[in-house]
């Protein structure tokens, strides 16, 4: 473990309360996206604890182990423009925001964590003024070169003040799946409040704890995701910071997300969905530590089933590969104890990853065509949320006698 690159939060990220109760301890991992090239195979990559706690005061579920963001994100390889599913989602989402909030040409939208500018492009095409903010230098440069003005910085109060002075107040501030990456939530929310005009709306999408719980997507717990949000702790958090969450909705993206709409107090009517989702969260017990401990036990059982299956196949001389190396595969591989002793290589559809090695465990990443050259007997689908699409795309592999193993939500062989 490396101590200089990480610290442990002693207080709740949302309410600053100090009563954090541990509910789930996952196996320590390197950063989930930290693939390495062949020249770094001899390096022992630092691993960091991965412990989840619930705040007894506000009920917020969070990772207490925080890796230095400049270490985590400086060489982020993920570009949202690269994945067609994500591009389509962002376009639909952008159009729904334009309709729902009645945005018109000339309105000003700021996106925090804007990546390569894919989401902002929809707004720019509708004539809005757009500004992206993203700390990854290489990705911000790409966005700028493609005509999406982007500041290569971490968003905080000072940046918000500077943008308001140079560009004016924002009609919309957006943060998609970056909210949970921010350790300084206070600086973030102060920045949002500063940047919003009087009727301005902050729109965010975050991983939804209800989906993590109901679909057993525990592998979405990694160091880039510090929070597992639900409605009530968020509502209290915004209220305590001079803002009001006035509407919420669920979205299927990223394994299940919560989309929230936040404005200045009293500026927008409160939607019934707020109370509806909060009631459901209480009904399934997500405000109670005991519920989350039972969840931890369910994960342990799923891991034991999978490793027993793989070890049995290995003992019978079967060859095993894996499919897909999304960030969450790192959590799954470490927590379930699946390394090179059980899987020989991982195939991935992203050309950027081919030729690299998985974070820490250093399983080689190869092109999907390898499945037809090497013909492994079994392929574990690590990108299991895309299992249906992967199995459909590779019908020729199963017709040739190969089998896919889908580890979650229930272990299955196809
Ligand atoms: Zn709290």
- Pairing label, strands 244-251, 196-207: unpaired
Ligand 1 centroid to residue 282 C-alpha, Å? 16
Between helix 185-195 and helix 157-167 the angle, nearest 10°, is 20
Q: What DSSP string runs through 249-302?
A: EEE-GGGSEEEEEEESTTSSPPPTHHHHHHHHHHHTTTTSHHHHHHHHHHHHHH
Ligand 1 centroid to residue 57 C-alpha, Å? 5
Q: How many CB atoms lie within 10 A of CB 225?
A: 22
Ligand 1 centroid to residue 213 C-alpha, Å? 19
Cβ(47)–Cβ(366) below 8 Å: no
Ligand 1 centroid to residue 56 C-alpha, Å? 7
Q: What DSSP string runs through 127-193?
A: T-EEEEE-S-HHHHHHHHHTT--EE-S---HHHHHHHHHHH--EEEEEEES-GGG-S-HHHHHHHHH
Ligand 1 centroid to residue 60 C-alpha, Å? 5
Ligand 1 centroid to residue 240 C-alpha, Å? 12
Ligand 1 centroid to residue 247 C-alpha, Å? 21
Ligand 1 centroid to residue 238 C-alpha, Å? 12
Ligand 1 centroid to residue 15 C-alpha, Å? 4
Ligand 1 centroid to residue 12 C-alpha, Å? 5
| Whole-angstrom distance, CA of residue 113 vs CA of residue 295 | 31
| Whole-angstrom distance, CA of residue 263 vs CA of residue 288 | 29
Ligand 1 centroid to residue 226 C-alpha, Å? 13
Q: The pTM is what? A: 0.88
Ligand 1 centroid to residue 224 C-alpha, Å? 19
Spell out the per-residue pLDDT of the chain, length 414, in tens. Answer: 445 788 999 999 999 999 999 999 999 999 998 999 999 999 889 999 999 999 999 999 999 998 887 787 655 555 555 567 778 888 999 999 999 999 999 999 999 999 889 999 999 999 999 999 998 888 899 999 999 999 999 899 999 999 999 999 999 999 998 876 676 788 899 999 999 999 999 999 998 999 999 988 899 899 988 889 999 999 999 999 999 999 999 998 777 899 999 999 999 999 999 999 999 999 999 999 999 999 999 999 999 999 999 999 999 999 999 999 998 999 999 999 999 999 999 999 988 899 999 999 999 999 999 999 999 999 999 999 889 999 999 999 999 999 999 999 889 999
Burial class (CB in 10 A: 0-12, 13-18, 19+), 290: exposed
Ligand 1 centroid to residue 263 C-alpha, Å? 21
């Amino acid at each position: 473990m490396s101590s200089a690159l990480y610290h442990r939060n002693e207080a709740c990220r949302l309410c600053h309360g100090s009563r954090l109760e541990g509910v789930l301890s996952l196996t320590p991992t390197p950063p989930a996206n930290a693939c390495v090239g062949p020249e770094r195979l001899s390096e022992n990559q630092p691993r960091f604890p991965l412990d989840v706690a619930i705040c007894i005061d506000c009920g917020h579920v969070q990772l207490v182990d925080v890796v230095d963001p400049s270490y985590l994100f400086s060489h982020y390889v993920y570009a949202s423009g690269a994945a067609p599913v994500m591009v389509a989602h962002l376009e639909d989402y952008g159009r729904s925001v334009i309709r729902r909030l009645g945005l018109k040409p000339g309105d000003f939208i700021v996106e925090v964590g804007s990546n390569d500018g894919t989401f902002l492009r929809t707004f720019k095409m509708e004539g809005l003024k757009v500004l992206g903010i993203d700390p990854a230098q290489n990705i911000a440069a790409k966005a700028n070169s493609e005509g999406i003005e982007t500041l290569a910085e971490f968003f905080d109060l000072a940046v918000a003040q500077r943008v308001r002075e140079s560009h004016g107040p924002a009609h919309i501030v957006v943060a998609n799946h970056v909210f949970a990456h921010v350790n300084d939530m206070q600086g973030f929310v102060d920045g949002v409040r500063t940047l919003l005009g009087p009727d301005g709306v902050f729109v965010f999408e975050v991983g939804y704890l209800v989906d993590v719980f109901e679909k057993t997507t525990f592998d979405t717990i990694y160091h880039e995701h510090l929070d597992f949000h639900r409605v009530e702790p968020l509502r209290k958090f915004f209220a305590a910071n001079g803002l009001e969450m006035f509407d919420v909705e669920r979205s299927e993206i990223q394994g299940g997300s919560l989309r929230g709409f936040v404005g200045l107090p009293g500026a927008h009517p409160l939607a019934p969905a707020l109370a509806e989702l909060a009631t459901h969260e209480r009904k399934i017990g997500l405000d109670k530590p005991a519920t989350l401990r039972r969840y931890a036990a369910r994960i342990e059982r799923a891991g034991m089933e999978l490793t027993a299956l793989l070890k049995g196949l290995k003992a019978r001389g079967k060859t095993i590969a894996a499919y897909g190396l999304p960030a969450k595969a790192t959590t799954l591989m470490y927590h379930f104890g699946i390394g090179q002793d059980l899987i020989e290589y991982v195939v991935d559809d992203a050309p950027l990853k081919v030729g690299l090695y998985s974070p820490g465990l250093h399983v080689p990443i190869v092109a999907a065509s390898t499945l037809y050259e090497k013909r492994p007997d079994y392929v574990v689908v690590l990108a299991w949320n895309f299992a249906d699409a992967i199995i459909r795309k590779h019908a020729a592999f199963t017709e040739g006698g190969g089998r896919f193993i889908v580890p979650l939500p229930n272990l299955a062989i196809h």
